[in-house]
Amino acid sequence: MTNGVSELEKRVQFAEKCGQAWAELHEKWLQLEKDEKPYLAALMNDLQGDMSELARERLAKGSPEFRSYIKNLCIARGEELRAKVKYENAVAWFEAGRSLESTERAKMKMF
């Protein structure tokens, strides 16, 4: 133990930090995902002229603005997934340390 904090406590703190980072990135991605249809509708509403809704949707989906939005949505999802992997890895690292300490305690009882 260093500074009164055990290795397992450090691992718990690290897992907490990773979990918070994941939650923040998940929130950003989720907001973008939920806003996709309203954003598309706004782009469609901005299109002028006498055209069907299907034509306006096709034009809106092909617009640079919507394509940029989708790109940002995908980037946010990738960041969120990478943060989730880091968090899950930190939890597994904690569990491995806890298991190792448990094994060591069991060995000490045998002697």
Please answer whether residues 83 and 29 qualify as being in contact, where contact means their C-beta atoms are separated by less than 8 angstroms: no
d(CA 77, CA 82): 9
Q: pLDDT tens digits for 9-56? A: 888 899 999 999 999 999 999 999 999 999 999 999 999 889 999 999
Q: pLDDT tens digits for 35-48? A: 999 999 999 999 98
Name the pTM for this structure: 0.77
Amino acid in the structure at residue 79: E
Q: Which of 87, 85, 35, 42 is closest to 60 using CA atoms? A: 42
pLDDT above 90 for 106 = no
